[in-house]
Amino acid sequence: MTSREMKSKVMSLGNRLTAETGDRAAAFVKAWEIVKAGAVEMVVRGVSFGNRQEALRRLARYNPAAVRAFIMPEPENAADPAALAVMVMVQNGRGVYRLGYVPREMTGIARAMKSRPAIRVISGDISGARLRLTV
């Protein structure tokens, strides 16, 4: 990535993060960290509830390249109207599961990135899952 492309990505992400968090200085520092690393990783919360353990067991059977993840806002969520659910599917929409949620402290970053990132579940077993959002 050229210096110009990197600056453009930092500016774009920094502005979106500022809109989410309201703290311009911290937003641009975080944007620089994310763009420099090429991604941000996070633990998926709530994987121990309901049928999510079964979803993790089923996902483990598939090649990771066949698993697609996406983030879905849940404004009707009584516990947190700003919640972002991590949804996963395999084989072009066959078997769509709610894996869990983006951690509350990461929702601003995920919202700022959600229109563009490649989202991958990088690890998942019955003990939990990690998500990688690529710039």
Q: Is residue 114 classed as helix, strand or coil in its secondary structure? A: coil
What pLDDT, on a 0 to 100 scale, did the predictor assign at position 98? 84
What pLDDT, on a 0 to 100 scale, did the predictor assign at position 119? 66
| 72 and 24 together in one domain | no
What pLDDT, on a 0 to 100 scale, did the predictor assign at position 78? 92
- Residue 115 contacts residue 135 (beta carbons within 8 Å): no
Q: Is residue 133 classed as helix, strand or coil in its secondary structure? A: strand
Measured CA to CA, the distance from residue 67 to residue 86 in angstroms comes to 12
What pLDDT, on a 0 to 100 scale, did the predictor assign at position 50? 72
- CATH no. for residue 42? 3.30.70
What pLDDT, on a 0 to 100 scale, did the predictor assign at position 118? 62
What pLDDT, on a 0 to 100 scale, did the predictor assign at position 92? 67
What pLDDT, on a 0 to 100 scale, did the predictor assign at position 97? 81
| 78 and 95 together in one domain | yes
Measured CA to CA, the distance from residue 41 to residue 57 in angstroms comes to 21
What pLDDT, on a 0 to 100 scale, did the predictor assign at position 94? 67
The count of structural domains within the chain is 2
Cα dihedral across residues 26, 43, 1, 117: positive or negative: negative
What pLDDT, on a 0 to 100 scale, did the predictor assign at position 53? 77
| 58 and 119 together in one domain | yes
What pLDDT, on a 0 to 100 scale, did the predictor assign at position 75? 92
Domain that holds residue 30: 1-37
| 46 and 97 together in one domain | yes
H, E, C per residue of 11-29:
HHHHHHHHHHHCCHHHHHH
| 63 and 99 together in one domain | yes
Query: Could you state, in chain order, the average pLDDT of each consecutive group of 10 residues for the chain (135 residues)?
Result: 88 90 92 89 81 76 78 91 87 75 88 66 62 74
What pLDDT, on a 0 to 100 scale, did the predictor assign at position 42? 84
| 68 and 109 together in one domain | yes
